[in-house]
Amino acid sequence: MKHRRFRVDLEKIRGGEAVIDDPGEIRHIRKVLRLGEGEPVILFDGTGKEYQASIARISPQEVFFSVAPDADSSPKESPLKIILGAALLKSAKFDWLLQKVTELGVGEIVPFSSSHVVPRWEEGKNENRRTRWEKIVAEAAKQCGRAVIPRVLPPRSFEEVLEGDWGEVTKVILWEKEKTGVLNEAVTRASGVFVLVGPEGGFSDGEARQAQAAGFQPVRLGPRILRAETAGIAAVAILQFILGDLNR
């Protein structure tokens, strides 16, 4: 029997009890799934832990769960650390990209603006968009069985991405004008990869040179020109196959 999975904030798991108070999730449990008291479920905290639980009681404002004493580490997290630097795209395309790379196991997403980006990020005006992004990756993690919710960082400039400290990772930039460099050769034996994907208009020649100066190796994804959202998803899938867990 497949148990339903629900995300619970870590601070709302106390001892043998947990609570969900998100109105949308409560409505889903009560009105859509029509779950009742005693129903076995799996809870996950967004940091990698899963908990066997059952519904203890339901009210219009809260759902309480009885939680087993021992948490399990999720077996569905990739051993490969992937950071995706993704240029901002039109809303629907970026939302779709976030959903799919979450399903593929990306760990962190860094949105950014560059010279050919069409949608511009305006601090304050677009905070609701970032809230939507966080909901998208949380829902995608729930759907695909992950217990870790990828971090979606606040959007930043291309220069800020290049200057950032991303830890011990191999850095690559997808560039359609690259003639010889290929992804699998650039990341041989890497334990972590930061892959930089441009907007619909691609990276400018100047941006590609800036990225190389900052330590990003330019690579191509075959002979065809891919849409920006397709390129991001393809890159994550390839990395998971050659270094992660898609080949298992």
Q: Cα(68)–Cα(182) distance, rounded to whole angstroms?
A: 47
At 230 the pLDDT is: 97
The answer as to whether 202 is a domain residue is yes
pLDDT at 67: 93
**Residue 153 within any structural domain of the chain:** yes
108 shares a domain with 149: yes
First-to-last CA distance in the chain? 24
Examine the domain organization and report whether 42 and 118 are in the same domain.
Answer: no
Same structural domain, 133 and 44: no
CATH number for the domain spanning 21: value is 2.40.240.20
Q: Which of 24, 45, 73 is the last residue of a domain?
A: 73
- Would you state the pLDDT for residue 233? 98
Q: Quick check: 47 and 148 in contact, CB under 8 A?
A: yes
238 domain-assigned? yes
Same-domain check for residues 86 and 154: yes
> Is the separation of the CB atoms in 174 and 219 below 8 Å?
yes
Q: Looking at the structure, tell me whether residues 95 and 213 fall in a common domain.
A: yes
- Do residues 85 and 64 both lie within one domain? no
Considering 73, 98, 120, which residue would you say is the last residue of a domain?
A: 73
18 and 141 inside one domain? no
- pLDDT computed for residue 122 by the predictor: 62
Whether 12 is in a domain gets the answer: yes
Same domain membership, residue 121 and residue 171: yes
Question: pLDDT 10s per residue in the chain (248 long)?
Answer: 578 899 998 889 988 899 999 898 999 899 899 999 999 999 998 888 888 999 999 998 999 999 988 777 777 889 999 999 999 999 899 999 999 999 999 999 999 999 888 766 665 556 788 899 999 999 999 999 898 999 999 999 999 999 999 999 999 999 999 999 999 999 998 999 999 999 998 999 999 999 999 999 999 999 999 999 999 999 999 999 999 999 88
Residue 135 belongs to some domain of the structure: yes
Q: In this predicted structure, what is the pLDDT of residue 45?
A: 87
Same domain, 131 and 164: yes
User: Is 213 inside a domain boundary?
Assistant: yes
Of 40, 73, 106, the last residue of a domain is: 73
* Residue 118 confidence (pLDDT): 74
Task: List the domain range (segments joined by +) for residue 102.
Answer: 81-242
pLDDT the model gives residue 121: 62
Cα–chain center distance at 20: 22
Judging by beta carbons within 10 Å of its beta carbon (0-12, 13-18, 19+), is residue 198 exposed, middle or buried? buried
- Whether 69 and 125 map to the same domain: the answer is no
Residues 6+ apart with CB under 8 A from 152: 98, 109, 111, 130, 133, 134, 137
Residue 137: both structure tokens together: 């990756």
Q: What CA–CA distance (Å, rounded) separates 120 from 104?
A: 27
Q: Which two tokens stand for residue 244?
A: 């992660």
Residue 204 falls inside a structural domain? yes
**CA dihedral sign, ordered 28, 31, 36, 37:** positive
The Cα 114–Cα 206 span in angstroms is: 11
CA distances from 145 to 103, 200, 215, 220 (A): 9, 31, 34, 31
Asked if 197 and 112 sit in the same domain, the reply is yes
As for how many domains the chain has, the answer is: 2
Residue 169: give its domain's CATH number. Answer: 3.40.1280.10
| pTM, two decimal places | 0.86
d(CA 83, CA 192): 8
Tell me, yes or no, whether 248 lies in a domain. Answer: no
Same domain assignment for residues 23 and 125: no
